Amino acid sequence: MKVTVKYFGLVAEATEKSEEVLDLNGTLTALELKVQCLNGLAIADKESVQIAVNQNLDDTITLKDGDEVALLPPFAGG
């Protein structure tokens, strides 16, 4: 299955890209994908990164083909 992964803020800085399409095998939850994506990146506090699946902040969702996933560092609006 293919999912689009978007990166923002310090995550985009660490990956040096704003998005990519990943071809994934088997069943994966959002949390599992987050751990996989952040593994090896120079990010001090990985726990603070949230994952949104189709704009919903729920890392228990099982991913399906065509999902849009976003890795979101701590919010800083206002």
Binding site for other proteins (CB under 8 A): 6, 8-10, 48, 52, 55, 70, 72-78
Q: Measured from the CB of residue 21, what is the shortest distance to other proteins in angstroms?
A: 17
Nearer to other proteins, 16 or 25 (CB): 16
Q: Measured from the CB of residue 60, what is the shortest distance to other proteins in angstroms?
A: 18
Nearer to other proteins, 8 or 29 (CB): 8
* Residues sharing a CB contact under 8 Å with residue 35, sequence separation 6 or more, in sequence order: none
Cα angle: 28, vertex 64, 55; to 5 degrees = 100
**How many CB atoms sit inside 10 A of residue 37's CB?**
20
Nearer to other proteins, 48 or 62 (CB): 48
